[in-house]
Amino acid sequence: MGTSLGVRRMNRPIIAATDFSARADRAVDRAIMLGKELGRDVVLLHAIEFAPARKMDTNALDKRMRAVLPETDVPVEFAYPEGSVPAAIAGYAEGNDAAMIVLGVARYNSVGDFFLGTAVDRVIRGTSKPVVVVKNRPHHAYRKVLVACDFSQPSREAIGWAAATFPEAELHLVHAYSVPFEAWNKAEYVAEEIEAEAAQRLAALAEGLPEAIGAQAKTHVVRGNLCSAVNQIPDDEGIDLVTVGSQGDSGFRHATIGSQASALLENARADTVLIGPRVA
């Protein structure tokens, strides 16, 4: 089913990281599904943080890897890069020109919030590859993909990535708007004007896309917070995947991936993919 991977020999594989915990299983299952759908090999990766004089037992690790794999005909290899977990995952993905990295959430609490955890955050900061954070049990391919649009270049690139990666999926372009000083500004015509302008800009964005992409895109303009919007639309439309572009580039998480992207990664109920500023 899988073997330890010692040398690079695959064409842009999908990397799925596991720590052998149950929370990682959904990411592994989704990566296998994506591998089949996109015609890519999958690398199941477990990072090794060595203690002094510790020796890697590859056979034992291979056995544990096989135990978390579902039955599949997708080619799967095993990899055990050494070092801190985030650096090992990101470094392996960069060194092997991965198509994407697939990760699970760190934990999920009783009130519905997802917490990414330090390791996931640092992987996102350390890679130029799309990072898919899997939150739900995969039952089928991503059929409906939402892209958060703020009319920036990163959001345009996110549209292009989503359309190229999932050409059969239905695209939903979502823009959330707010009314300045809404607590004091009660005139409804102000909100209507802002909404009309946002709808016009979003329609122009969709019309400016390549014909094949524009034909599969639906537009949504939602008043309020972007996180609320991307949860409302999935509930209404059955969205499988939320896509967000990021333009941050500093050493702090919110600046690195952008405050909006950070909020979406934590709060969107659907699986979420971050398209960072270095994604080619």
Quickly list DSSP for 77-131.
EEE--BSSHHHHHHHHHHHTT-SEEEEE-SEE-TTS-EE-HHHHHHHHHH-SS-E
Q: Please give the pLDDT value at position 121.
A: 72
The one-digit pLDDT tens for each residue of the chain (280 residues) are 455 444 444 579 999 999 888 888 999 999 999 999 999 999 999 999 876 667 788 899 999 999 999 999 999 999 999 988 889 999 999 999 999 999 988 654 444 444 445 677 778 888 889 999 999 999 999 999 999 888 888 888 899 999 999 999 999 999 888 766 555 556 676 778 888 888 899 888 888 888 878 777 889 888 877 787 778 776 778 899 999 887 544 333 333 345 667 777 777 889 999 987 655 5
Q: Please give the pLDDT value at position 255.
A: 35
Distance of alpha carbon 226 from alpha carbon 79, whole angstroms:
37
Q: Please give the pLDDT value at position 147.
A: 93
Mind listing the domains of the chain with CATH numbers? 2-134 (3.40.50.620), 144-275 (3.40.50.620)
pTM reported for the whole predicted model: 0.84
Q: Supply the DSSP symbol for 149.
A: -
Q: Supply the DSSP symbol for 39.
A: T
Distance of alpha carbon 172 from alpha carbon 36, whole angstroms:
24
Q: Which residues contact 218 (CB under 8 A, 6 or more apart)?
A: 170, 171, 172, 173
